[in-house]
């Protein structure tokens, strides 16, 4: 697929998300720690525009105010929430006009944009197609349109451990291997002793036992008349016991301690992860919600059906160098408060499935489509 086709596909995913929202709801803020949704309507195009201009393409701005207003997202410290009001933002029609002009300029100059910058624009858009999905997921059902979640009558999938032999885990990638974000470089080996890892992601059914013993309730669960439900993207269903549980890192840690285990490190995840992705894996926008945990001879669903928390603090590899046009992409989060996730969720684009890709969030952040599996020495 060439860059024009890749950009068109990425745009189609973000366009579908915005089309699923009642326009009147775009000024809502479904997640308190994030911008109002109207910001993201302008942000993705503004990012593309600013990267194009910084790459050396000569083009007069269509709206310098919007170029700046929609430039950066937010990740506030706990308790430091944004306080802007809907009236502080431009109208939908103004942003739509800006977006059309920006897209036309990007299309006209795409051949002039350095290839690595074009890949960054495309991947950034795919990343927002996923992170914006978390926001839309938390919007009231009456303000969005989409398919109802699938019912599941499966039973609890119980964890079993698989022994992983001692050996090297290869993390990262080298500059000659193609595009990557700054935190992916450079490739290096980590020597690991043998360890055991869960064959399956921890299921809702297993985690329900923990909740019944006083464990923290996942964000995407709700309870009515003593019954537990899954709050899907477009509707609620009785809690599917055979789906992986989506939790924060804090919740994953607590469950692991409850089971006398821990979470894998980033290196252990790499060591255990199969070299091929299972057929029919739940990724690349295939579904809005999880699917049942699949039986497997080896370690199951390490790519797809939910990112997986690791106990590794997000930080640079040796040889790290920030990208000049986006110096804060990773470095702003090397603060000891963000942790690495690996794998992929149902809303992760196929373009982002290279093994070296690293995701990261705060330990207490409950909205990400993230599950986990247990690990023991």
Question: Between 115-137 and 37-54, two packed helices, what is the crossing angle to 10 degrees?
Answer: 170
| CATH topology assigned to domain 161-215+244-376 | 3.90.1580
Across 153-191, b (16+ Cβ under 10 Å) vs e yields eeeebebeebebeeeebebbbeeeeebbbbbbbbbeebe
Mean pLDDT of the chain: 96
Digit-coded pLDDT (tens) for 47-67: 999 999 999 999 999 999 999
**pLDDT tens per residue, the chain (377 residues)?**
799 999 999 999 999 999 999 999 999 999 999 999 999 999 999 999 999 999 999 999 999 999 999 998 866 677 778 889 999 999 999 999 999 999 999 999 999 999 999 999 999 999 999 999 999 999 999 999 999 888 888 999 988 999 999 999 999 999 999 999 999 999 999 999 999 999 999 999 999 999 999 999 999 999 999 999 999 999 999 999 999 999 999 999 999 999 999 999 999 999 999 999 999 999 999 999 999 998 888 999 999 999 999 999 999 999 999 999 899 999 999 999 999 999 999 999 999 999 999 999 999 999 999 999 999 99
pLDDT at 219: 98
pLDDT at 137: 98
The CA-based angle 352-272-346, given to 5 degrees, is 35
Domain residue spans of the chain: 3-143, 161-215+244-376
Q: Are 356 and 171 in contact (CB under 8 A)?
A: yes
Residue 156: its pLDDT value, please? 92
- At 76 the pLDDT is 67
Position 83 scores a pLDDT of 86
The full 3-state SS of the chain, as one line of letters, equals CCHHHHHHHHHHHHHHHHHCECHHHHHCCCCCCCCCHHHHHHHHHHHHHHHHHHCCCCCCCCCHHHHHHCCCCCCCCCCCCCCCCHHHCCCHHHHHHHHHHHHHHHHHHHHHCCHHHHHHHHHHHHHHHHHHHHHHHCCCHHHECCCCCCCCCCCCCCCCEEEECCEEEEECECHHHCCCCHHHECCEEEEECCEEEECCCCEHHHHHHHHHCCCCCCCCEEEECCEEEEECCCCEEECCCCCECCCCHHHHHHHHHHCCCECCCHHHHHHHCCCCCCCCCCCCCCCCCCCCCCCCCCCCCCCCCCEEEEEEECCCCCCCCCECCECHHHHCCCCCCEEEEECCCCCCCHHHCCCCCCEEEECCCCCCCEECCCEEC
Architecture of domain 3-143: Up-down Bundle (1.20)
């Amino acid at each position: 697929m060439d860059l024009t086709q890749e950009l068109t596909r990425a745009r189609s995913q973000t366009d579908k998300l915005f089309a699923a929202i009642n326009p009147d709801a775009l000024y809502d803020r479904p997640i308190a720690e994030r911008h109002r949704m109207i910001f993201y309507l302008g942000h993705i195009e503004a990012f593309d525009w600013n990267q194009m201009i910084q790459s050396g393409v000569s083009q007069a701005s269509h709206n310098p105010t919007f170029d700046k207003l929609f430039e950066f997202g937010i990740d506030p410290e706990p308790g430091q929430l944004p306080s802007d009001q809907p009236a502080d933002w431009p109208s939908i029609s103004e942003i739509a006009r800006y977006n059309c002009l920006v897209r036309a300029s990007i299309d006209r100059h795409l051949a002039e944009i350095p290839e690595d910058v074009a890949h960054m624009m495309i991947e950034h858009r795919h990343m927002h197609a996923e992170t914006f999905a978390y926001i839309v997921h938390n919007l009231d059902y009456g303000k969005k349109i989409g398919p109802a979640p699938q019912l599941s009558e499966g039973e609890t999938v119980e964890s079993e451990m698989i022994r992983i032999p001692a050996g090297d885990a290869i993390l990262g990638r080298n500059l000659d291997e193609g595009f990557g974000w700054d935190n992916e470089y450079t490739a290096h080996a980590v020597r690991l002793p043998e360890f055991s890892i869960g064959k399956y992601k921890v299921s809702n059914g297993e985690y329900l036992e923990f909740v019944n013993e006083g464990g923290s309730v996942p964000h995407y669960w709700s309870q009515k008349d003593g019954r537990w439900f899954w709050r899907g993207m477009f509707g609620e269903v009785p809690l599917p016991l055979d789906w992986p549980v989506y939790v924060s890192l804090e919740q994953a840690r607590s469950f692991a301690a409850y089971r006398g285990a821990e979470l894998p490190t980033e290196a252990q995840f790499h060591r255990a992860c199969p070299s091929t992705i299972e057929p029919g894996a739940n990724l690349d926008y295939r579904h809005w919600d999880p699917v049942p945990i699949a039986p497997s001879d080896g370690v199951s669903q390490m790519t797809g059906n939910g990112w997986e928390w690791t106990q590794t603090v997000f930080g640079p590899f040796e040889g790290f160098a920030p990208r000049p046009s986006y110096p804060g992409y990773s470095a702003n989060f090397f603060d000891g408060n963000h942790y690495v996730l690996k794998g992929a969720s149902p809303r992760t684009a196929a373009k982002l499935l290279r093994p070296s890709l690293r995701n990261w969030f705060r330990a207490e952040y409950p909205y990400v489509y993230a599950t986990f599996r247990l690990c023991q020495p």
